Amino acid sequence: MKNIYCLFIFILISNGVTFAQKQFVIDPNASPRELSGTFTKIKISGGIDLYISQSENEGMAVSASEDKYKENIKTVIQNGELNISYQNISGAWERGKKKLRVYLAMKTLEHLEASGASNVVIAGTLKASSFTLRLSGASDFTGDINADILNIEASGASDTKISGSAEEFNATCSGASDIKGMELKTGICKVVASGASDIYISVSKELTGKASGASSIFYKGNPGVKQVESSGASTIALRNR
């Protein structure tokens, strides 16, 4: 298998994805790794950067600043889930020095869970009938999602920057986390923010929101039905800009 990075570059150019193109550069340290099974779920931890592209041509590559770090990136498929982690044998962290990265092209993704200061980027648009995203431990997600049902749980100072569309959107944000979704067009929206967290969302049909503990929910659009509740120093407000 040729360097999987060529696959990513081809997908991005053919789809004309300007934002994603800026995120992807040639990685001379990337090495292909066999996918030994099928999966629709991903769990990632250990401060690894994960780059995902939806494609009929599936493949995976791993990268690090040195081969000894690359060998410690573990990718295991079990019960329909790809588990990506880093086996830190030396005990020394030095995330910036290691530059741990995984590149993944896959057909179907329904569930993604990131923890331990991991970073996930979607190249192009990810399409799914139902998609669930869970972030914790200062992890980040950036991507464009088109789904009938979209669920997000963010905690522990995690950040989500998301665009696309979802007919039904459910989100829980806690522990000083942020969900930046003004470019995500939703129909029915149910969101809860607590613990100094912020949610930004676009909604057209129905909004149900609850904010507490110095948290904020800002929305744009003109939903026909609104059920909102704020307490303490929290805020729920319209922001059409």
Residue 181 has pLDDT above 50, yes or no: yes
Q: Residue 25 has what pLDDT?
A: 46
**Which pLDDT band holds residue 240 (cuts at 50, 70, 90)?**
confident
Q: Residue 90 has what pLDDT?
A: 60
Q: Residue 7 has what pLDDT?
A: 47
Which residues are CB-contacts of 222 (< 8 A; sequence separation ≥ 6)? 204
Q: What is the pLDDT of residues 47-59, one digit of tens each?
A: 999 999 999 889 9
Pick the CATH number of 31-87+97-124 from 1.10.3210.10, 2.60.40.10, 3.40.50.300, 2.160.20.120: 2.160.20.120
Q: What is the pLDDT of residues 83-132, one digit of tens each?
A: 999 987 565 556 568 999 999 999 999 999 999 999 999 999 999 999 99
Residue whose tokens read 């040729």: 2
CA distances, 119 to each of 92, 158, 194 (Å): 20, 10, 23
Would you call 6 helix, strand, or coil by DSSP?
helix
Domains 31-87+97-124 and 126-240 share a fold: yes
Q: Which fold has domain 126-240?
A: Pectate Lyase C-like (2.160.20)
Cα distance between residue 136 and residue 46, in whole Å: 12
R_g of the chain, CA atoms, integer Å: 18
Q: Residue 6 has what pLDDT?
A: 47
Cα distance between residue 114 and residue 102, in whole Å: 13
- Closest by alpha carbon to 125, among 109, 138, 112, 140? 109
Q: What is the pLDDT of residues 3-39, one digit of tens each?
A: 444 444 434 433 443 333 344 447 888 999 999 899 9
Q: Residue 17 has what pLDDT?
A: 39
Once rounded to an integer, what is the mean pLDDT over residues 182-193? 98
CA distances, 191 to each of 10, 118, 150, 153, 172 (Å): 37, 24, 12, 10, 6
> Model's pTM, two decimal places?
0.88
Domain boundaries of the chain, sorted by first residue:
31-87+97-124, 126-240
Q: Are 107 and 87 in contact (CB under 8 A)?
A: no
Residue whose tokens read 């300007």: 18
Cα distance between residue 129 and residue 115, in whole Å: 24
